[in-house]
Amino acid sequence: MNDSLIDALARIVGRKWVRHRGADLATYAMDGLPTHESVPGVVIMPGSPAEVREIVRLLHLIQVPFVARGAGTGLSGGALAESDAVLITLTRLNRILRVDPIQRRAVVQPGVVNARLSEAVAPLGLQYVPDPSSQAACTVGGNVAENAGGPHCLKYGVTTNHIVSLEVVLPDGSVTRLGSDQGEAWGPDLVGLFVGSEGMFGIATEITVRLEQNPESVRTMLADFMTVRAASEAVSAIIATGIVPAALEMMDKACVAAVEASIYAAGYPTDAAAVLLVELDGQTDAVGAEAITVRDILLECGAREVRSASTAVDRARLWQGRKKAFGAMGRIAPDLAVQDAVVPRSALPDIMDRIEAIRRHHNLIISNVFHAGDGNLHPNISFDRRDTAVAARVQLACREIMAACVAAGGSITGEHGVGSDKLDYMPWIFDAQTLGAMRAVRRVFDPSERSNPGKVYPVHACREWHAVKSARR
Amino acid sequence: MSDAIYARLRALLGTSGVDRDANGVARASPESSDALSLVCRLAHEESWKIRVEGRGTWLPPDAPADLVVSTRALEQILSVSPADLVATVQAGASLEALRRRLADYGMWLAIDPPGRPDRSIGSVIATATAGPLRHGYGPVRDHVLGCTVATGDGRLVNAGGRVVKNVAGYDLTKLQVGGFGGFGIIADVHLRLRALPRADVTLVARGARDVLTAAGRELMSAHLLPSALELLSPALAAEADWVLAARFVGTDAAVQADVRRLGSVGEQLWQPLPPDRTAAFWSVAARGSLGGPITLRLGVLGDGIDETIDLLSHDLDEGLVSAGAGLGMIRWTGDAPVEQLRALRRAAAAREIPMTLERAPWAVRRAIGHFGAYREGVGRIVGRLRDTFDPGQCLSVALEGVDHA
């Protein structure tokens, strides 16, 4: 990156907030996914929305690409920048600007850490629902870019269901407000379009979120099964009753083994083929009655034991293994390829068999933890990327798992995004016409394709949508 | 011109797929998304204006056009997967047909839009007209997992997918939900279903409006979880007073628990509707939105309802009003001159309240548009999106109205 650009950036934010030396840049060469690496040209850390605007304006003027980044916990290589691009880190924009307990709204900057927002509003009896596993570190801005999910999205929806308005800096440096605090759009639903656009439409500098009232009562239940199929059937049977649990999470034997061997041991039965966590929330009497129904279903479907917890401490113990599953897998090997795919829920047992076959074929260690309620799988492959032969098998296995999920009528990502990791899979689920439409929409926001270039759609697969000259303007 | 278009369409779709509407305009009713795409491509090549029509129960059929494209022959329910809680449905299927078919499987689509029960699902989605169940089940967009649309120049775009959780690619579905047909014609949709609720109980309270809105607030803070909490004006409810209706839907246990607690909340006298009257009550409220030529919605939060209904009464008239007493959103139906609607939109905008014209004669739509003026910077984005999805401007739709074109 040339010195004059570095100087110009330093004039905006101050020299201490610009990194351009090798060792400093290495920190930003990866996100949470160890299979992709790219060193940015320069890293800049603005301290205010005004600085973000100035940076983006400058980069527009000289037509330099940029990538916005939150805490770097993403799992799709989505916040990686090439050496010709400026990485704009938004973690200093970490203020909760306003909380309105009556309207149940909070206005935050993009660098606010997800869990901090819920902590901040907890005394008001409110919560910000989307709770990705990385919530202790990931930022709301990153959640907006990826349309992040989490265990409690089964009942309450993913990030897009909780964002009502956005102030965004478009790639040409102009600032626009999308949506309204009321949640009713001023025109087409551009907030819905922006959320999940993986940083390719611009940078959200102010985010207004919907808060939810904390439920009066919460019951967490843990059941263990001798087969994944039996556990999956229990999931379907629960949902068929009309009960919508707040969360329905499953862990397979390998995942339970990893958890129980770690400092996060939660007392899960290690001989079970699957452990199912069911959380019910709502009015106290209703939760009590529904818990009885759920318990009966779990036992009818073959659960060996059903444990139940209502107090915060006891519930946290049941959840501990699930929440720390990824951390526990860190013990197994230095690297963890966390994958993300979705299948129709009824396909869960078959897809688990298929993943096991793929695991055996490639001789890998795969632990499965998944949001069973909505068919969102996370097969996690433990490996050492210094062993290039193993790393190659990991890539192959990931590809085969994705292909199996697509063949089952699913999707290549449920909550982690496409990023750089899944570019190749996009043509498996979208035809050239649709990929072309995505590219054309991106160019509406970013005609020169400088904002997070090279992500989401593989350019070669897009049928080009030449903007036909219209009578307008 | 019309005869020539009629002949070209017949050559394309065959005789059964083409007729004329009440004004003698050629009307194409393609039976597949591919045929729909061909019609759009032809219109684009010939620079014909298209009026899009569903089952003809919501927007009046009066947009100026060289041809009509109707989705009425796209009425198949393509698949229902109870185990996955997903259905794939063509856009012209009626809500009533869908409801019946889903019930056979013990399934339910949790939307109750205004209008007639034979409204097409495509119309509900294109206009994002949610009903009272929006309170518990979210706006229309939360029920749409994906869709196939034909763009104004005949390309088929598949947005989203058939699974409930999916972030592959941009969320193009969001543009179609509530896009009023400005970004293409919806051919089919993937819908998120729910298990048919075991219990469905509605209780009503009658009285002065401000007393009822206060009761609504009280109910919300008592950890009660109604699926709908709707305030209806006397004219809409066909009663002497305002009516606040609370609908509890779900498992027997949850509904019973809520109903029990409701009795102990506040001073308000809640009366349960007899089960045989519940469906009729909500259907009267839904049909009420057809009680005048114009329907509009105002995006307002729960505690702004009283003030906003006052504003409506002042600028227009009390009319047929339905309001979400918990989370907000007001729907008004009646008649008013364009100037008054313009004034209302200005007054609402000054209070940060978006006003969307959901239904009106073309003269009104053309004048003030479904959305009117956008906020700074948004018009440019919407204009470019329109150019992307309808480069020849074939789709006859007034998103902004002439004031702001």
Q: Which amino acid is at B138?
A: G
Q: In what order do the strands lie in the sheet with B355-359?
A: B271-272, B199-207, B242-250, B228-232, B320-324, B330-334, B294-298, B355-359
Per-residue pLDDT, averaged over A154-178, amounts to: 96
Query: Do B223 and B298 lie in a common domain?
Result: no
Classify residue B120 by its DSSP letter. Answer: B
B310 assigned to some structural domain:
yes
Question: For the packed helices A284-300 and A228-240, what is the interaxial angle rounded to 10 degrees?
Answer: 140
The domain A331-422 having CATH identifier 3.30.70.2740: the answer here is: yes
How far apart, in whole angstroms, are the C-alpha atoms of residue A70 and residue A113? 9
Residues pairing with A366 in the sheet: A381
CATH of the domain at B343: 3.30.70
Query: What is the structure's pLDDT at A465?
Result: 63
Q: Which chain A residue's Cα is nearest to B217?
A: A102
Query: What is the structure's pLDDT at B93?
Result: 98
Asked if A102 and B177 come within 8 Å (Cβ–Cβ), the reply is no
Per-residue pLDDT, averaged over A57-78, amounts to: 97
CA angle centred on B299, ends B295 and B303, rounded to 5°: 120
pLDDT at A460 over 90: no
pLDDT at A422 over 90: yes
End-to-end CA distance of chain A: 38
Residue finishing a domain among B251, B266, B288: B288
pLDDT band of residue A472 (cuts 50, 70, 90) is: very low
Low-confidence winner among A44-48, A96-100, A261-265 (lowest mean pLDDT):
A261-265
B270 assigned to some structural domain:
yes
**Residue pair B172/B71 in contact by the 8 Å Cβ criterion:** no
Partners of residue A342 in chain B, C-beta under 8 Å: 163-166
**Residue pair A457/A420 in contact by the 8 Å Cβ criterion:** no
Nearest to A414 among B165, B300, B328 (CB): B165
CA angle centred on B378, ends B376 and B382, rounded to 5°: 150
CATH of the domain at B280: 3.30.70.2190
Put simply, whether A290 touches B (Cβ < 8 Å) is: yes
Query: Do B235 and B275 lie in a common domain?
Result: yes
Query: For every residue of chain A, which 3-state class applies, written as one string?
Result: CCHHHHHHHHHHHCHHHEECCHHHHHCCCCCCCCCCCCCCCEEECCCCHHHHHHHHHHHHHCCCCEEEECCCCCCCCCCCCCCCCEEEECCCCCCEEEEECCCCEEEECCCCEHHHHHHHHHHHCEECCCCCCCCCCCEHHHHHHHCCCCCCHHHHCCHHHHEEEEEEECCCCCEEEEECCCCCCCCCCHHHHHCCCCCCCCEEEEEEEECEECCCEEEEEEEEECCHHHHHHHHHHHHHCCCCCCEEEEEEHHHHHHHHCCCCCCCCCCCCCEEEEEEEEECHHHHHHHHHHHHHHHHHCCCCEEEEECCHHHHHHHHHHHHCHHHHHCCCCCEEEECCEECCHHHHHHHHHHHHHHHHHHCCEEEEEEEHHHCEEEEEEEECCCCHHHHHHHHHHHHHHHHHHHHCCCECCCCCCCCCCCHHHHHHHCCHHHHHHHHHHHHHHCCCCCECCCCCCCHHHCCCCCCCCCCCC
- Considering only residues A470 and A440, tell me which one the structure prediction assigns the higher pLDDT: A440
B93 assigned to some structural domain:
no
pLDDT digits (tens, 9 = 90+) for A188-201: 999 999 999 999 99
Q: Which amino acid is at A374?
A: D
Query: What is the structure's pLDDT at A438?
Result: 97
B311 assigned to some structural domain:
yes
pLDDT band of residue A352 (cuts 50, 70, 90) is: very high
**pTM of the predicted model, to two decimals?**
0.96
CA dihedral B352, B353, B357, B363 (to 10 degrees): -50
Put simply, whether B85 touches A (Cβ < 8 Å) is: yes
Partners of residue B166 in chain A, C-beta under 8 Å: 342, 411, 413-414
Q: Is A241 exposed, middle or buried (0-12, 13-18, 19+ CB in 10 A)?
A: middle
Show the beta-strand stretches assigned E in B181-239: 185-192, 194-195, 199-207, 228-232
Task: Collect the ranges in chain B with pLDDT lower than 70.
Answer: 1, 403-405
Per-residue pLDDT, averaged over A194-210, amounts to: 98
Put simply, whether B197 touches A (Cβ < 8 Å) is: yes
- Considering only residues A110 and A310, tell me which one the structure prediction assigns the higher pLDDT: A110
Query: What is the structure's pLDDT at A468?
Result: 44
Reading the block at residue A105, the tokens are 């709204």
B304 assigned to some structural domain:
yes
Partners of residue B261 in chain A, C-beta under 8 Å: 283, 285
pLDDT at A471 over 70: no
Topology of domain A96-213 in CATH is 3.30.465
Element (H, E) at B379: helix B378-389
Put simply, whether B88 touches A (Cβ < 8 Å) is: no
CA dihedral B98, B103, B108, B114 (to 10 degrees): 50
Low-confidence winner among A45-54, A424-433, B59-68, B300-309 (lowest mean pLDDT):
B300-309
Query: Do B265 and B300 lie in a common domain?
Result: no
Q: Is A312 exposed, middle or buried (0-12, 13-18, 19+ CB in 10 A)?
A: exposed
Residue finishing a domain among B288, B308, B326: B288
Report how many domains make up chain B. 2
Query: What is the structure's pLDDT at B43?
Result: 98
B232 assigned to some structural domain:
yes
Nearest to A431 among B86, B158, B327 (CB): B158
Residues spanned by the domain of B211? 199-288
How far apart, in whole angstroms, are the C-alpha atoms of residue A1 and residue A150? 38
pLDDT digits (tens, 9 = 90+) for A375-412: 999 999 999 999 999 999 999 999 999 999 999 999 99
Asked if B142 and A241 come within 8 Å (Cβ–Cβ), the reply is no
Put simply, whether A415 touches B (Cβ < 8 Å) is: yes
B347 assigned to some structural domain:
yes
**What is the gyration radius of the CA atoms in chain B, in angstroms?**
21
Q: Is B267 exposed, middle or buried (0-12, 13-18, 19+ CB in 10 A)?
A: exposed
Q: What value of ipTM does the predicted structure carry?
A: 0.97
Q: Which amino acid is at A145?
A: A
The percent of residues in chain A predicted with pLDDT above 70, rounded, is 98
Query: Do B246 and B266 lie in a common domain?
Result: yes
pLDDT digits (tens, 9 = 90+) for A263-300: 889 899 999 999 999 999 999 999 999 999 999 999 99
Question: For the packed helices B305-315 and B338-350, what is the interaxial angle rounded to 10 degrees?
Answer: 150
Query: Do B205 and B242 lie in a common domain?
Result: yes
B17 assigned to some structural domain:
no
How far apart, in whole angstroms, are the C-alpha atoms of residue A218 and residue A247? 11
With a CB cutoff of 8 Å and minimum separation 6, the contacts of A96 are A106, A107, A108, A109, A112, A116, A117, A120
Query: What is the structure's pLDDT at A469?
Result: 45
Asked if A344 and B83 come within 8 Å (Cβ–Cβ), the reply is yes
pLDDT digits (tens, 9 = 90+) for A214-237: 999 999 999 999 999 999 999 989
Topology of domain A217-327 in CATH is Alpha-Beta Plaits (3.30.70)
The phi-psi region of residue A409 (left if phi > 0; otherwise alpha if psi is between -120 and 50; otherwise beta) is left
Query: What is the structure's pLDDT at B123?
Result: 98
For tokens 């014909």, what's the residue?
Answer: B48
Please determine whether the domains at A96-213 and A331-422 fall in the same fold group of CATH: no
pLDDT at A470 over 60: no
CA A78 vs CA A70, A87, A337, B173: distances in Å: 11, 12, 14, 22
How far apart, in whole angstroms, are the C-alpha atoms of residue B275 and residue A356? 51
How far apart, in whole angstroms, are the C-alpha atoms of residue A360 and residue A40? 37
Q: What is the DSSP string of B56-101?
A: SSSS-S-S--SEEEE-TT---EEEEETTTTEEEEETT-BHHHHHHH
**Residue pair A54/A94 in contact by the 8 Å Cβ criterion:** no
pLDDT at A473 over 70: no
Asked if A438 and B170 come within 8 Å (Cβ–Cβ), the reply is yes
Put simply, whether A158 touches B (Cβ < 8 Å) is: yes
Residue finishing a domain among B288, B308, B336: B288
Parse chain A into domains and list their residue ranges. 3-89, 96-213, 217-327, 331-422, 424-458
The distance of B136 to chain A (nearest Cα, Å) reads 11
Q: Which chain B residue's Cα is nearest to A159?
A: B167
CA angle centred on A106, ends A55 and A127, rounded to 5°: 125
The domain A3-89 having CATH identifier 3.30.365.10: the answer here is: no
How many residues make up chain B in this entry? 405
CA B342 vs CA B316, B329, B347, B372, B402: distances in Å: 11, 19, 9, 9, 12
Q: What is the DSSP string of B269-285?
A: --EEPPHHHHHHHHHHH
CA dihedral B236, B237, B240, B245 (to 10 degrees): -130
